């Protein structure tokens, strides 16, 4: 079972070509953000395979927009590149609405690649740091928060925040995260055997890695899946932890865990991959 919690679609893309190009058939459910109308088309075309996030584009977006997204069938929100820092109280009415509609929020965290359309003096990494999620999680403990890219480059901060807050998670998408050397991953994932450095033994910090989720961002599912499997093997992730990362964490926050478990048993109302709900069944 696999849920891809971080995928994008643009206004010009054909739904079926987008699905095939990123090999989304390898995921049981894909969570998509991007162009609002195209996202709505995706969930209507592939209702059992796609969950949509409403992307907040600028500071003119009002809290009422959250309700509009909900009415259109969107299940969560995406925030990126806004004028203020994520934890600015000006955004609290939006977060309150997200709590009301039980809509998780995916935040871009860390560095943002420079794009021609970015507004001058608006885009800044410090406004999108993973530490901003700490403030939001304290103010809205019932809200599920997902930080993309493990807070690149403040990976330890991201792990610390995930450790302290029950409903804060991070995905491992992005080329920078995947290029980290083994020793750097040891620093991020491992903890000492005791609090006094009496032993050089290290153990996997399960309380942290249990808060990771699978997301591809701009890459394909096979590329990110290979990276995750290699990481799992290198540090001997337990089976239960692998399941949490690959699908259970996201299924829980979107309330679809029981449906997916039923799907595994073959008695779910969700369509099978080979049925008319898939790209293959609808024709390209």
Q: Which of 50, 36, 45, 54 is nearest to 3 (CA)?
A: 50
What average pLDDT does the segment 36-52 reach? 97
The mean of the pLDDT values for the chain is 90
Residue 226 CB: number of other CB atoms within 10 A?
12
Percent of the chain with pLDDT over 70: 90
User: pLDDT digits over 258-284, tens only?
Assistant: 999 888 777 644 443 333 344 433 333
CB 163 within 8 A of CB 208: yes
Q: Residue 119: what pLDDT?
A: 63
CB 254 within 8 A of CB 9: no
User: pLDDT digits over 48-101, tens only?
Assistant: 999 999 999 777 778 999 999 999 999 999 999 888 999 999 999 999 999 999
User: pLDDT digits over 163-194, tens only?
Assistant: 999 999 999 999 899 999 999 999 999 998 88
pTM of the model: 0.90
What average pLDDT does the segment 198-226 reach? 95
Exposure string (b/e) for 6-18, b if CB count within 10 Å is 16 or more?
Answer: bbbbeeebebeeb
User: pLDDT digits over 113-161, tens only?
Assistant: 666 655 665 677 889 999 999 999 999 999 999 999 999 999 999 999 9
Domains along the chain with CATH numbers? 3-282 (3.20.20.140)
Distances (CA, A) of 56 to 64, 110, 123: 12, 17, 14
Distance (Å, whole) CA 144 – CA 52: 15
Which residue has tokens 């493990």?
A: 150
Distance (Å, whole) CA 232 – CA 197: 26
| Secondary structure E strands in the chain | 3-9, 29-34, 50-56, 76-79, 105-108, 145-148, 168-171, 190-192, 202-204, 212-213
């Amino acid at each position: 079972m696999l849920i891809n919690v971080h995928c994008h679609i643009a206004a010009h893309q054909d739904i079926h070509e987008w699905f095939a190009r990123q090999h989304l058939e390898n995921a049981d459910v894909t969570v998509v953000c991007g162009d609002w109308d195209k996202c709505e088309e995706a969930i209507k075309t592939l209702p059992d395979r796609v969950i949509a996030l409403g992307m907040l584009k600028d500071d003119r977006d009002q809290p009422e927009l959250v309700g509009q997204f909900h009415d259109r069938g969107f299940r969560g929100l995406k925030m990126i590149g806004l004028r203020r820092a994520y934890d600015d109280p000006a955004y609290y009415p939006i977060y309150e609405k997200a709590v009301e509609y039980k809509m998780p929020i995916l935040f871009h965290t860390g560095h943002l690649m420079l794009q021609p359309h970015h507004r001058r003096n608006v885009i800044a990494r410090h406004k999108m740091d993973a530490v901003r999620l700490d403030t939001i999680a304290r103010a809205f403990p019932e809200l599920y928060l997902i930080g993309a890219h493990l807070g690149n480059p403040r990976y330890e901060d991201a792990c610390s925040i995930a450790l302290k807050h029950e409903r804060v998670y991070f995905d491992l998408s992005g080329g920078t995260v995947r290029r980290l050397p083994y020793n750097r991953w040891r620093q991020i994932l491992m903890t000492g055997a005791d609090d006094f450095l009496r032993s050089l033994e290290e153990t996997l910090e399960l309380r942290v890695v249990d808060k990771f989720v699978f997301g591809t961002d701009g890459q394909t599912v096979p590329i990110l899946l290979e990276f995750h499997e290699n990481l799992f093997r290198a540090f001997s992730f337990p089976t239960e932890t692998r399941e949490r990362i690959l699908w259970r964490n996201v299924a829980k926050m979107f309330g679809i865990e029981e449906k997916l478990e039923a799907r595994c048993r073959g008695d779910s109302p969700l369509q099978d991959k080979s049925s008319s709900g898939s790209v293959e069944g609808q024709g390209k």
